[in-house]
Structure 1
């Protein structure tokens, strides 16, 4: 059973903690995903075998946490992540997948002194603006203004309901429009066959961000899930390298 945390905003966040040696590795999941996904569970098993401190959690409206997904936005999920991180003593190594890559960049920007390293997997910074709003047609934009929401098809299951609040709030948390300095080791992992977050996004992030130790690794043929055996081995090897 997960532990439950109440955030300063009153939201209930489910999380699992593995005690061990620091820095604490924290997995931040993607948009409408949960902490029971393949990468999060794989990293937890790796951490338990290694004796490494590890945390995985669900944002509000995701997985086992409270709240409704459609009521959330980037700012809410960032606050959820910050609430979890604030309960952890010592340095942090963040592992952010897809939207979790964006959230982890926001966390790292806000508290660089606590970050020992950052790994992103198919990071999707600014996706509400660049991958949603920018691609909405006139009818979708009209529906968003009229109804406050629009449904987008998803190959992962039921349509995603995108709210006007999600789009507007996202504009307050963009990271690719202003300088982004990451003064710690950073590794961006990206699949070449990812159709949800194309390679160009990873290249843009690499070009935009600044820092003393930053690398982008492209995996030929890997898709957005980045969850086959080879990708999982690369993920744990990358985290191990940053832990030193």
Structure 2
């Protein structure tokens, strides 16, 4: 896999990344909430990139994986800035973004900020605006009061330790919502969503589809696939989707 490299952002955050050299347009994998760049989908795409000679980048947001900082110090705006900084520093030419879960939200922010550098987008169980439209929406009055008073609460997770949710995460999320206005994406877009996803509702995928403005936008539902979207069949579909966008 090669040695982990590091990029320091203008804000002083040290971002860990792995870059695979190859031809462009390059492919960038953007991971999910509290995940890291060593996940199944990221490594599968890196293997695909090596086999096909394609440039590829995977990285950890600050507070995730091998990057600097504590998770509870971060927020959507910080992680989008991390992504923009490392993409700008270590990639050349146009890039196809592959955003998993929260990475789909980060991708939408990047497309809005540096759209001229983006050649395509593949969303995997993309979760735009989840801090507001899922977390805050579903908090009880007691949980909302606790978050506002103490600045943090914990949510149970199916993937390990409980998620620490900070007041800053929620409030910053409101400053970075993407499903309140049209999303111009004048390049190929493929959205992938499992019907058995317990974390991202099907309506989120449909709402994202409705907000995207573009001539080549497709949404595929996979019956029985869960939020991980990491079965051999799902991984093969991700690879085919990236190849479609690149073609």
Instruction: Tell me the TM-score normalised to structure 2 length.
Output: 0.98
Q: Where does 1:201-220 land on structure 2 (aligned, <5 Å)?
A: 201-220=204-223
What CA deviation, in whole Å up to 9, does each residue of 1:123-149 have, x standing for no partner?
000000011111110110111111001
Structure 1: how far apart are the matches of 2:165 and 2:73? 10
Q: Give the aligned length.
A: 244
Question: Mapping of 1:50-65 within 5 angstroms?
Answer: 50-65=52-67
Alignment of 1:129-148 (within 5 A): 129-148=132-151
Deviation track 1:157-177 (CA, whole Å, cap 9, x = no partner) reads 111010000000001100001
Counterpart position of 1:32: 34
Structure 2 unaligned spans of 5+: none
1:228 paired with 2:235, answer no
1:78 equivalent in structure 2: 80
Determine helix, strand or coil for the equivalent of 2:41.
helix
Off by >4 Å, runs of 4+ in structure 1: none
- TM-superposed deviation, 1:242: 1.1
Give the secondary-structure state (helix, strand or coil) at the position aligned to 1:47. helix
Gaps (5+ residues) in structure 1?
none
Distance in 2 between the 1:4 and 1:112 partners? 25
TM-score by length of 1: 0.99
Quote the residue 2:111 is aligned against.
108
Q: 1:112 touches 1:183 (CA, 8 Å); kept in 2?
A: no
- State the Cα RMSD in Å: 0.7
1:168 maps onto 2:171 in alignment: yes
Q: Of residues 165, 179, 184 in structure 1, which corresponds to 2:182?
A: 179
Counterpart Cα distance in 1 of 2:148 and 2:174: 16
Q: Distance in 2 between matches of 1:118 and 1:208?
A: 14
